[in-house]
Amino acid sequence: MGSPLTEPGREGRYVGSEIPHRVGLTRPYYLAINEVTQDEYQIVTGSSPSGHSPGGEKADTVATLKTGRLPVEMVSWNDAQEFCKRLSALPGEQQRSYRLPTEAEWEFACRAGTVEATYVGNELTSDSGNFAGTVPYQSSTVGPFLKRPTTVGTYPPNPFGLYDMIGNVAEWCEDTYDYGVNYYADSPRNDPLNTVGVKRVRRGGGFDAAGQYQRSATRYNEAPTFRDYRLGFPSVYKTCENPKTLPRKRR
């Protein structure tokens, strides 16, 4: 986890928050290949909070679109926890336990075996994800800037076959957040989960963030009650004692 001190895009006051360190993940987990969509959130919770929806505050930006397959946003960390709880209780799901990913699980899934700044390399344009293409990362090639979320799975997947790990919406993780180096750099080697503090980790860059914020190591935090039209949560992780009871792929 983390990034080299020389990696372009690191912000000075947050340098300690990306100190490179080794992490082991000892428990299997499953990840749906897309971010949680508006339709999925509606089915599970009965509500539709997204700003980029027909009744949302950003309705004008999606007026000609079917928004059901856009990622859900305007959901707090607490909202995401409730979604996971309700999903786990649905008929047919009782053998599965749904939750948000730990920060370590998120970064492992995002990197997909790569060690560069992003999973497409040390240069990034908005051909690879939905972000502010007018500000690419370490590239002179200016790309599209949609200024809104787009349908999940629109852009190429990472090497693990996961979509929108770059751009679209930022994503909540399970952990609390420590900007200092203490927990992040000195956390347990295996399966770390930070529980110190109140604020929660969000990872990944959103649709209106510049290229540097799409790096695999970028970390930020928000209060667990915070909601924003640029912030959703990732494809839900599935864990259980017997992984053989789970499908290999599930949306």
What is the tens place of the pLDDT at every residue in 223-233?
A: 999 999 999 99
Six-digit token pair at 227? Answer: 């909601």
CA angle 220–222–227, rounded 5-degree value: 125
In this prediction the pTM is 0.92
H or E element in which residue 38 lies? helix 38-45
Q: Quick check: 249 pLDDT over 80?
A: no
Q: Quick check: 193 pLDDT over 60?
A: yes
H or E element in which residue 237 lies? strand 237-239
H or E element in which residue 221 lies? strand 219-222
Q: Write the CA distances from 171 to 22, 27, 105, 247, integer angstroms.
A: 22, 21, 13, 24
Distance CA(172)–CA(189), nearest Å, equals 22
Listed in sequence order, the residues at least 6 apart from 48 whose beta carbon sits closer than 8 Å to its beta carbon are 38, 41, 42, 55
Listed in sequence order, the residues at least 6 apart from 72 whose beta carbon sits closer than 8 Å to its beta carbon are 35, 36, 37, 38, 40, 41, 49, 50, 232, 233
Residue 135 and residue 129 in contact, taking contact as beta carbons nearer than 8 Å:
no
Q: How many CB atoms lie within 10 A of CB 141?
A: 11
What is the tens place of the pLDDT at every residue in 109-168?
A: 999 999 999 999 999 999 999 999 999 999 999 999 999 999 999 999 999 999 999 999
Distance CA(96)–CA(88), nearest Å, equals 6
Six-digit token pair at 91? Answer: 């008929």
Q: Quick check: 245 pLDDT over 50?
A: no
Q: Quick check: 45 pLDDT over 60?
A: yes
235 against 196, higher pLDDT: 196
Strand order in the sheet with 231-232: 219-222, 200-203, 170-176, 231-232
Q: How do the residues of the chain divide into helix, strand and coil, expressed in percent and rounded to 5?
A: 20, 15, 65
